[in-house]
Structure 1
């Protein structure tokens, strides 16, 4: 780790990682490479967590990803694989999506959003005269914010504030202060007038589990990822990403115990410090203990703190959560449709004209304009546009995400339960009707061969997600950077946290970065920025 502080504070020994989602897989692989004897415990019967996969008996040829579907920030993946001395192309086959995505907004014409600064500027100019030049300036700022985030904020444990006092931050202090205290909605609306252009630039707030009016405009950096870097698709979906991470972990000697639920994190007092001694689990109805020198919870932080630890050892007790924003919930609708759907591209965003009400129903509760209690700004993925293996010949695969309030009271779907809750089914049916109307697919409902759903209660039950949140806590100002949940317990010296509910935040790239930040913690590395590539392989060093 040349150039990074490398005085190891914890000698590699035994480690237990709770949760085999993306963060758990990535963390376990890095720990094993660093010389740790790693065991991963996962309550479900398969790895992947929210980035799951579903096949249904009787409907051969259909396979749905049940979680993330946007491959953004490609250099985060490239860097993670490079830490192991490999390349992304050694693990994944990526397809460039052109256009990046398709937008349906109210009754307006369909807009295909291209990749590339000049191409995006030309689109904006064709819709709103003068908007092209404004977009180029906007993207200049987005790129600068993106780069400073990579260099100073994302790969940062925030265990010291020194890195935030670097000249790159200080010389931008005024601009950063403005971007952090002004909302994304206000920032965009001050520059662009046409509703659909405003929507394209502010919708990325949803990827941050937030809403435009509550998201700091610092996050306009997201437009750099989709409009400039572009959108790719990993063949095999995010299941292929999960498999790649799982294979890396197994190759480095990680042991996985599936269908094994952590019931408590065990501790002891040693030399005046509280340390972990292991994890108690329930496997096949039998209680067991797995010893460990360190524990990394890559599961939901609220569940970890309030269900796996006694009150006296909680860094984030219930009173902490009473003032936090859980982010968005979602109803997922998985459809197999007979025949082709040329009206849809791979990624599709459906926006209603009542943009404010869409977010109000998600964050404030029921609205008179939203009888379904769900947003009408929804996302539809058609992976069968880019891959034959997700649907039978002559059929299409659709994944529909409908934002709803993060509350398990909305209910569960029928993907893993015998039948869906009435409210989840109603929301799904409303979304199907909306897609049919806005995309002009009049016979969509009649062509549906199979439908399955998930609701907030599924996220709560399957992933212990706080309030059934789909992505993790919203990226508001009070829940970003060093104000987000830290990645190390204040009460237990050898307990760490990774994943979407801690720093740096939600999304697959952030989960990969959170795993790297665990390694930095263990090496007392307080420098910001990505680690040098590759990280040393302890097994090879010993050999």
Structure 2
């Protein structure tokens, strides 16, 4: 994609990446129209209301706060002005299989607290964690300054003297798995899992994600975990406000059915209602597989169907949204339940014969622990995530137990597991609101390739310069944004992805973030 002066732009999709792109383009002088197929904005960072409960249906960990801060400053504001952030203490709680008779662990952020916990569980582990976190922090700083904000239109960033100087340290981090990196340093199974579980947030398995991603532990153990009061829908609303303030016109219930082209150049989009919208630039925030294989003719596909057979999706997800009567002090704001057979758990999800793990390693979010506004008085709000294979054939969810039978059975098992492991014997009887969401829903609602929940997994072959770029290789004036393109999975990454679109349009090939704000005039 060659540099372009501001003109007319169409953004496909109102997920966080599309909204952020609309905001940045509008601030840079583009006339922007955004079309979202669904009735609500946010994409996978959605929200659902029922009987006084308000559930986030997607991201629930606010990490990389400096990325949010930078994005908001690009648009002349700040995270402090746009969202009400609360620091969580503990950052999260960990339960093990009760057959191990191991007590739950409360993980508190801050190096001193994290080292003390590790030392208490495994003598000598505290000092080893300090070195581990030093390395994680160094890797994170390098990623932010040299890798995440790079469009990889050139190799200049990779040839930076600072990167070349660190090659002896980087090489083993790229060739060794996160699991092996952790296992060499710590013996206790609980500590290993605390350091390996972030691989799931990267859409992968700790046995397949490169150990460079140990940098994730810098975020929750050194930096801390925040929560935007009101839920992550408030982040979506903030970015939407900024997009509209920059002049973007946003339409929901407006499905794009094709990207129009002329002489291998994007000329706009065609909508399901018959409208054709002309544009000088098209940015698709829709799932990359859907964009390439459904919105473009085969001859103009940079990523045709045959190439997707060699790609690795993130896991699918079974989401169970529960409104529960009474209090649940057994659960922190974030709670993790780690299955005893760790390797088998990930083999069930990513292996050659995938199936829903039983028992599974679960994640439970209880936002009502911090935010009473998400549940009626005297009730709790639970968001349960069960990582499962990315396969729409596993079924679709529903409200009140109305999903496919296999999905509801798996949800019942998850509820029973939380009940038994966390000491809440009457949990199932106290549920007053229930909804399930499964891979079939991700495929139908978001066009997610293979019904995956997060995007393309962060394997070595799908990270940094090996990840799909933010621009079409065959269609001029067509850019991509979101979790399947550079730089990767998660809300912060999608904000950076939007910034990479603007960097390309400006011809900026530097490896770092743009100067703040977007426009100084």
Q: Is the 8 A contact 1:374 1:403 kept in 2?
A: no
In the alignment, the residues of structure 1 paired with residue 152 and residue 179 of structure 2 have an alpha-carbon distance, to the nearest angstrom, of 28
Q: Structure 1: 5+ residue runs without aligned partners? A: 1-6
Instruction: Give the match for residue 79 of structure 1.
Output: 70
The answer on 1:201 being equivalent to 2:191 is no
Q: Is the 8 A contact 1:334 1:400 kept in 2?
A: yes
Q: Structure 1 length normalisation: TM-score? A: 0.94
Which residue of the other structure, out of 488, 499, 504, is the alignment partner of 1:505? Answer: 488
Q: Is the 8 A contact 2:359 2:417 kept in 1?
A: no
Which residue of the other structure, out of 43, 58, 72, is the alignment partner of 1:49? Answer: 43
In the alignment, the residues of structure 1 paired with residue 80 and residue 140 of structure 2 have an alpha-carbon distance, to the nearest angstrom, of 24
In the alignment, the residues of structure 2 paired with residue 186 and residue 373 of structure 1 have an alpha-carbon distance, to the nearest angstrom, of 22
Structure 1 runs, 4 residues or longer, greater than 3 Å off: 372-375
Q: Is the 8 A contact 2:203 2:315 kept in 1?
A: yes
Q: Is the 8 A contact 1:362 1:374 kept in 2?
A: no
Secondary structure of the residue that 1:531 maps to in structure 2?
coil
Q: 1:395 to 1:418 in 2, by over 3 A?
A: closer
Q: Is the 8 A contact 2:174 2:460 kept in 1?
A: yes
For 1:211-230, list aligned pairs within 5 A: 211-230=205-224
In the alignment, the residues of structure 1 paired with residue 39 and residue 222 of structure 2 have an alpha-carbon distance, to the nearest angstrom, of 38
Q: 1:29 to 1:105 in 2, by over 3 A?
A: same
The answer on 1:278 being equivalent to 2:268 is yes
Instruction: Give the match for residue 7 of structure 2.
Output: 13
For 1:524-539, list aligned pairs within 5 A: 524-536=507-519
Instruction: Give the match for residue 3 of structure 1.
Output: none
Instruction: Give the match for residue 325 of structure 2.
Output: 338
Instruction: Give the match for residue 303 of structure 2.
Output: 316
In the alignment, the residues of structure 2 paired with residue 474 and residue 64 of structure 1 have an alpha-carbon distance, to the nearest angstrom, of 25
State the Cα distance separating 1:534 from its structure 2 match: 1.0
State the Cα distance separating 1:364 from its structure 2 match: 1.7
Instruction: Give the match for residue 520 of structure 1.
Output: 503
Instruction: Give the match for residue 379 of structure 2.
Output: 395
In the alignment, the residues of structure 2 paired with residue 527 and residue 375 of structure 1 have an alpha-carbon distance, to the nearest angstrom, of 47
- CA-based RMSD: 1.4
The answer on 1:140 being equivalent to 2:123 is no
Q: Is the 8 A contact 1:16 1:278 kept in 2?
A: yes
In the alignment, the residues of structure 2 paired with residue 128 and residue 360 of structure 1 have an alpha-carbon distance, to the nearest angstrom, of 27
Which residue of the other structure, out of 175, 186, 190, is the alignment partner of 2:184? Answer: 190
State the Cα distance separating 1:423 from its structure 2 match: 1.2
Which residue of the other structure, out of 435, 452, 456, is the alignment partner of 1:469? Answer: 452
Instruction: Give the match for residue 4 of structure 1.
Output: none
- Pairs aligned (count): 518
Q: Structure 2: 5+ residue runs without aligned partners? A: none
Q: 1:251 to 1:55 in 2, by over 3 A?
A: same
In the alignment, the residues of structure 2 paired with residue 170 and residue 258 of structure 1 have an alpha-carbon distance, to the nearest angstrom, of 47
Q: 1:298 to 1:218 in 2, by over 3 A?
A: same
Q: Is the 8 A contact 1:375 1:402 kept in 2?
A: no
State the Cα distance separating 1:419 from its structure 2 match: 2.6
State the Cα distance separating 1:287 from its structure 2 match: 1.4
Q: Is the 8 A contact 1:410 1:423 kept in 2?
A: yes
Which residue of the other structure, out of 88, 91, 99, is the alignment partner of 1:100? Answer: 91
Q: Is the 8 A contact 2:322 2:435 kept in 1?
A: yes
Secondary structure of the residue that 2:485 maps to in structure 1?
coil
Instruction: Give the match for residue 230 of structure 2.
Output: 236
Q: Is the 8 A contact 1:359 1:375 kept in 2?
A: no
For 1:146-157, list aligned pairs within 5 A: 146-157=140-151
State the Cα distance separating 1:464 from its structure 2 match: 0.5
State the Cα distance separating 1:365 from its structure 2 match: 5.6
Which residue of the other structure, out of 259, 265, 272, is the alignment partner of 1:265? Answer: 259
State the Cα distance separating 1:379 from its structure 2 match: 0.3
Instruction: Give the match for residue 469 of structure 2.
Output: 486
Instruction: Give the match for residue 277 of structure 2.
Output: 290
In the alignment, the residues of structure 2 paired with residue 373 and residue 197 of structure 1 have an alpha-carbon distance, to the nearest angstrom, of 21
Secondary structure of the residue that 2:296 maps to in structure 1?
coil
Q: Is the 8 A contact 1:374 1:402 kept in 2?
A: no
Q: Is the 8 A contact 1:156 1:529 kept in 2?
A: yes
Secondary structure of the residue that 1:64 maps to in structure 2?
strand
State the Cα distance separating 1:353 from its structure 2 match: 0.5
The answer on 1:355 being equivalent to 2:338 is no
Instruction: Give the match for residue 123 of structure 2.
Output: 129
In the alignment, the residues of structure 2 paired with residue 144 and residue 202 of structure 1 have an alpha-carbon distance, to the nearest angstrom, of 18
Q: Is the 8 A contact 2:401 2:435 kept in 1?
A: no
